Amino acid sequence: MIVKKTYKLEDLDCANCAAKMEERIKKIDGVISANVSFIMQKLTIEAEEDSLDKIIKQAAKVCKKVEPDCRIIL
């Protein structure tokens, strides 16, 4: 089943970084769509429900690489 989940981001300081994160998260296996909103400080991911935990872990690594202080609030 495909689900759409939204997560709060903490310490996302740069719109350019948000765009980089979004592009990289979209490339993670199993991600149907991803949106990182700098203004709203939110990450929205659409993916298969059974892959979501793995995808979120990978997305968190992407966020740390792009902006080390940024965290996904689960």
All residues at 6 or more sequence positions from 1 whose CB lies less than 8 Å from its CB, including other chains: 48, 49
Structural domain count of the chain: 1
pLDDT of residue 27: 98
Determine phi and psi for 49, rounding to 5 degrees. Answer: -55, -40
pLDDT of residue 7: 97
CATH number at residue 53: 3.30.70.100
- Supply 32's token pair: 């149907």
pLDDT of residue 54: 97
> Angle of helix 15-26 relative to helix 52-66, nearest 10 degrees?
140
Q: What is the pLDDT along the chain (74 residues), one digit of tens a residue?
A: 999 999 999 999 999 999 999 999 999 999 999 999 999 999 999 999 999 999 999 999 999 999 999 999 98
The DSSP letter of residue 38 is T
What's the residue count for the chain?
74
Which structural domain range is residue 13 located in? 2-73
